[in-house]
């Protein structure tokens, strides 16, 4: 039976004196796609930053595979098997696709990098012919694929994805969501996806949370949240 890969309890966090998240309780089951949706400014990115060790935690607990990670450095959290794909600045535009993948595998022994690169690039056949091209010359969808491929170089146990749909055309958003499902199924990955594009994300999720103004306003079946008669009001924080 699958267990909890990530368990967040009574979490309050933010940046310095600025509190952003209030009493957050989230569980992420092994092998699942757990979706956190909410309007702009809801605290979704802060949630991922907190898991990755990039914020101030005032109180609460974050356990990864049963181990407390609050207080650990971002480097040590990454070494444990958590890969974080930031919304912006997630590739090095002036480096080649190959060099970006090597950069993504910075925690790997040198003798494993080439082997792992081949495994990862097989998941993204669109990139195979671009290994020696500068990453900045790729299309928006191709850059997003490269960014995901970089996070997979370290064979993560938990993948944190921040706003995958940003600046992508609707057809590319659909393609990226399908790719997330494929990665979950082929690699037995556990994925925590935060998205402002609620409809697309909820359609692929196994479990969902609605975050509004730093608080969880709903948790449960993503399909039920999508069909909730007061979804728009909930999403905007008008209804509780």
Together in a domain, 17 and 132: no
Total domains, the chain: 2
Together in a domain, 64 and 108: no
- Mean pLDDT over 84-96 rounds to 86
- Mean pLDDT over 135-159 rounds to 92
Confidence check: pLDDT of 234 > 90: no
Indicate whether 211 belongs to any domain.
Answer: yes
Confidence check: pLDDT of 165 > 60: yes
Q: Give per-residue pLDDT as tens, 17-73.
A: 999 999 999 999 999 999 999 988 999 999 999 999 999 999 999 999 999 999 999
> What is the rounded CA–CA span in Å between residue 216 and residue 210?
6
Indicate whether 173 belongs to any domain.
Answer: no
Together in a domain, 74 and 102: no
First to last CA, the chain: 33
The answer to whether 211 touches 50, Cβ cutoff 8 Å, is no
Band of residue 86 on the pLDDT scale cut at 50, 70, 90: confident
Domain coverage including residue 146: 88-155
Sign of CA dihedral 219, 145, 136, 89: positive
Indicate whether 171 belongs to any domain.
Answer: no
Residue 173's pLDDT is 87
Together in a domain, 69 and 94: no
- Mean pLDDT over 196-217 rounds to 92
Residue entry with tokens 């990864």: 64
> How many Cα atoms within 13 Å fall on the side-chain side of residue 156?
28
Residue 95's pLDDT is 95
Together in a domain, 63 and 2: yes
> What is the rounded CA–CA span in Å between residue 135 and residue 150?
12
Together in a domain, 56 and 130: no
């Amino acid at each position: 039976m699958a267990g909890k890969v990530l368990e967040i309890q009574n979490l309050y966090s933010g940046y310095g004196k600025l509190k952003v998240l209030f009493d957050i309780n989230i569980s992420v089951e092994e092998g699942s796609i757990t979706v956190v949706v909410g309007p702009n400014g809801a605290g979704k990115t802060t949630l991922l930053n907190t898991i990755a060790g990039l914020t101030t935690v005032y109180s609460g607990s974050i356990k990864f595979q049963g181990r407390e990670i609050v207080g650990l450095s971002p480097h040590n959290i990454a070494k444990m098997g958590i890969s974080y794909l930031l919304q912006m600045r997630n590739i090095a535009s002036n480096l080649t696709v190959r060099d970006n993948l090597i950069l993504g595998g910075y925690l790997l022994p040198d003798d494993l990098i080439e082997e792992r690169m081949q495994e990862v690039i097989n998941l993204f056949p669109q990139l195979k012919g671009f290994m020696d091209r500068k990453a900045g010359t790729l299309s928006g969808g191709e850059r997003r694929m490269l960014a995901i491929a970089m996070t997979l170089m370290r064979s993560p146990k938990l993948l944190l994805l921040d706003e995958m749909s940003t600046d992508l055309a609707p057809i590319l958003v659909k393609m990226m969501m399908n790719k997330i499902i494929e990665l979950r199924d082929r690699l037995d990955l556990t994925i925590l996806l935060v998205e402002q594009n609620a409809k697309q994300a909820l359609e692929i999720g196994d479990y969902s949370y609605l975050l509004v103004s730093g608080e969880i306003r709903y948790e449960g079946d993503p399909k039920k949240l999508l069909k909730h008669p007061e979804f728009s009001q909930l999403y905007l924080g008008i209804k509780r």
